[in-house]
């Protein structure tokens, strides 16, 4: 049916109702004797909850009554177009949620004043007014929340104009607009950031559709979230505590109290650093090496937890300066050997009680008054003439890796003695023998006996367990008469001497024979004569007896 015909039909129905009705606050209505053409003006579209009223249309009603100077309201009806239902008989009507999507109009019976229809009852009909749902005002939406792995993004918004009773929502990733979460409910659900989101550095936003009875659904998007990132520890105020002497061979120790850190770290690693910040070790203990000698260290703590930024604390106080360790000494050096000229003293150290066992020793020999013996820097000391009568000792310096050197001295030796030598005679004839005696010698050592000045070896002799020698040697017959020296040597080194005088042999008759041979021949001749005389006397006595 055309809209004009529908309006006319409605107007006729309204008039019929009005004629059979009763005017507001008046006697029973009279038959309408005037129905002007046209409609008085109503808003063509209203939202539910809007109050429509006659007074706001007075002027447009009066315009329908040519020549009329006024009108008096008699009755009012508000009628729904679809079924003709009378919604109200009051001069005003407030639309409801149930009216949404329907059309309504007003019918007003009035008494005309003035003009050609003065005193007549006129029935005036309005145009149709469509009732619509309300609309939300555009809110300001955001996606707050800590965009850390495990954190929750939420939606906050103000300015809807009315409080929605339900929502549909979608969370989408900005980079590719991919849907990452959705739902419906009385509140907008959040989105929990994942480790993968953090790795990708993703940014998100939410699309929210609001619902409320009597309101058109409205859809808006939030602003972008933070970029997904690792979380950060909070309340990190403590620093590591350190202890230890700093000696090589020992360890520093460190601890860290993480009780106030939020959230609690799942791993705490101590880092040992040099003064320039370089990490030289990790762990609760650290044994410094010789490369760190002379340096103090400090410790930091590395705090770790899945989906959180690693956190390195401020440094501890400095440790003790790294220094060499001290050795614990054992036995002192022991000097062995007979302290006699020509001998050798030997130093040795029993290291069984040393800690640690030294890697090596160096030596220095000293006189009893502490004067170092020049060149005597080995474990052995040869006893030379310049040491005769001296008392000596040795200082051994122990060397061990990562430890201070340790110097320890032996007990002093007895005086270094010079052997004494004597001859059985002070004067000997060339070709005769002389007995040489010596004491204060090294034990069981071979010595050489020479006749000087022009050295002539007389022979060798071996000292006994008492360090003495007593042996006879022949002076060569060719030895020139005069002052000579009997010299005792060990390994070519003179250790003792004694002066002796060699006399010449008696001269023989002019035989030209060797002076060294004549005395022996003469002796043999005399012995032969004696034997002849004795044999003759024995024979003579035997003859007389017989």
pLDDT digits (tens, 9 = 90+) for 73-99: 999 999 999 999 999 999 999 999 999
Q: Where in the chain is the domain with CATH 2.60.40.2700?
A: 334-409
- In this prediction, residue 101 carries a pLDDT of 95
Q: Please, how many CA atoms are within 13 Å of residue 180, restricted to the half-sphere of its CB?
A: 21
Predicted confidence (pLDDT) per residue in 362-371, tens digit: 999 999 999 9
> Under CATH, to which class is 420-503 assigned?
mainly beta
Give backbone dihedrals phi and psi of 305, rounded to 5 degrees, phi first: -160, 140
pLDDT(20) > 50:
no
CA-CA distance, 393 to 398, in Å (whole number)? 16
DSSP letter, residue 263: S
Q: What percent of the chain has pLDDT over 90?
A: 74
Q: Which of 295-304, 433-442, 530-539 shows the highest mean pLDDT?
A: 295-304
- In this prediction, residue 440 carries a pLDDT of 87
Predicted confidence (pLDDT) per residue in 115-145, tens digit: 989 999 999 999 999 999 999 999 999 999 8
- In this prediction, residue 530 carries a pLDDT of 53
- In this prediction, residue 179 carries a pLDDT of 97
Write down the CATH number for the domain with range 334-409: 2.60.40.2700
Q: Report the greatest alpha carbon distance in the chain.
A: 239
Under a CB-based contact definition with an 8 Å cutoff, are residues 270 and 319 in contact? Answer: no
Write down the CATH number for the domain with range 140-221: 2.60.40
CA-CA distance, 352 to 357, in Å (whole number)? 7
CA-CA distance, 54 to 526, in Å (whole number)? 198
- In this prediction, residue 33 carries a pLDDT of 74
pTM above 0.85, yes or no: no
CA-CA distance, 341 to 387, in Å (whole number)? 8
Which uninterrupted H or E stretch holds 528? helix 518-545
- In this prediction, residue 537 carries a pLDDT of 44
- In this prediction, residue 506 carries a pLDDT of 84
The mean pLDDT value for 489-514 works out to: 79
> What CATH topology corresponds to 241-312?
Immunoglobulin-like (2.60.40)
- In this prediction, residue 546 carries a pLDDT of 35
pLDDT(540) > 90:
no
Higher-confidence position of 140 and 5: 140
pLDDT(390) > 90:
yes
Q: Which residue has the tokens 């030596």?
A: 363
The mean pLDDT value for 529-539 works out to: 45
pLDDT(292) > 70:
yes
Q: How high is the mean pLDDT of the chain? A: 87
User: Looking at 51-55, 96-100, 180-184, 188-192, which range is the least confident one?
Assistant: 51-55
Predicted confidence (pLDDT) per residue in 249-264, tens digit: 899 999 999 999 999 9
pLDDT(536) > 80:
no
Measure Cα distances from 32 to 78, 107, 192, 194 in Å: 18, 13, 72, 77
Please state whether the peptide bond connecting residue 292 to the residue before it is cis, i.e. omega within 30 degrees of 0: no
> Under CATH, to which class is 3-132 assigned?
mainly beta
Q: Where in the chain is the domain with CATH 2.60.40.1930?
A: 420-503
pLDDT(427) > 60:
yes
- In this prediction, residue 343 carries a pLDDT of 87
Reported as a pLDDT band with limits 50, 70 and 90, residue 16 is very low
């Amino acid at each position: 049916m055309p809209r004009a015909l529908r309006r006319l039909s409605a107007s006729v129905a309204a008039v019929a109702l009005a004629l059979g009705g009763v005017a507001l606050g008046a006697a029973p209505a009279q038959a309408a004797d005037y129905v002007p053409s046209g409609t008085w003006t109503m808003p063509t579209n209203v939202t539910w909850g809007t109050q429509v009223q006659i007074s706001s249309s007075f002027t447009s009603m009066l315009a329908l009554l040519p020549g009329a100077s006024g009108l008096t309201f008699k009755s009012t009806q508000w009628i729904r177009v679809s079924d003709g239902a009378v919604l109200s008989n009051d001069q005003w009507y407030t639309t409801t949620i149930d009216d949404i999507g329907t059309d309504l109009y007003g019918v007003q019976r009035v008494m005309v004043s003035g003009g050609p229809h003065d005193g007549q009852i006129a029935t005036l009909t309005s145009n149709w007014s469509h009732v619509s749902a309300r609309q939300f005002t555009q809110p300001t939406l955001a996606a707050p929340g800590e965009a850390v792995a495990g954190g929750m993004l939420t939606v906050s918004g103000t300015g809807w104009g009315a409080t929605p009773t339900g929502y549909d929502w979608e969370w989408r990733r900005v980079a590719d607009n991919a849907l990452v979460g959705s739902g419906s409910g009385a509140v907008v659900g959040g989105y929990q950031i994942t480790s993968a989101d953090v790795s990708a550095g993703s940014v998100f936003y939410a699309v929210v559709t609001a619902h409320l009875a009597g309101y058109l659904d409205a859809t808006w998007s939030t602003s972008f979230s933070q970029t997904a990132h690792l979380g950060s520890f909070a309340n990190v105020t403590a620093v590591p505590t350190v202890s230890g002497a700093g000696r090589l061979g020992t360890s520093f120790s460190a601890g860290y109290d993480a009780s106030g850190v939020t959230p609690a770290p799942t791993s705490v690693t101590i880092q040992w650093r040099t003064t320039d910040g370089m990490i030289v070790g990790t762990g609760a203990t650290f044994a410094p090496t010789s490369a760190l000698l002379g340096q103090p260290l400090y410790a930091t703590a590395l705090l770790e937890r899945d989906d959180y930024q690693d956190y390195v604390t401020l440094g501890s106080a400095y440790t003790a300066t790294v220094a060499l360790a001290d050795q614990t000494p054992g036995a002192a050096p022991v000097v062995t050997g007979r302290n006699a000229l020509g001998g050798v003293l030997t130093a040795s150290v029993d290291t069984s009680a040393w800690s640690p066992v030294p890697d090596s020793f160096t030596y220095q020999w000293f006189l009893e008054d502490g004067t170092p013996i020049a060149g005597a820097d080995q474990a052995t000391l040869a006893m030379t003439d310049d040491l005769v009568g001296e008392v000596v000792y040795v200082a051994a310096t122990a060397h061990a890796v990562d430890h201070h050197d340790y110097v320890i001295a032996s007990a002093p030796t007895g005086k270094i003695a010079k052997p004494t030598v004597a001859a059985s005679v002070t004067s000997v004839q060339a070709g005769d023998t002389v007995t040489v005696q010596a004491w204060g010698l090294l034990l069981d050592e071979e010595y050489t006996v020479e006749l000087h000045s022009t050295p002539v070896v007389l022979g060798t002799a071996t000292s006994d367990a008492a360090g003495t020698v007593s042996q006879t040697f022949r002076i060569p017959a060719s030895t020139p008469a005069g002052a000579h020296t009997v010299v005792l040597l060990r390994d070519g080194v003179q250790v003792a001497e004694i002066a002796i005088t060699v006399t010449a042999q008696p001269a023989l008759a002019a035989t030209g024979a060797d002076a060294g041979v004549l005395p022996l021949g003469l002796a043999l001749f005399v012995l032969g004569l004696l034997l002849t005389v004795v044999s003759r006397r024995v024979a003579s006595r035997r003859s007389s007896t017989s």
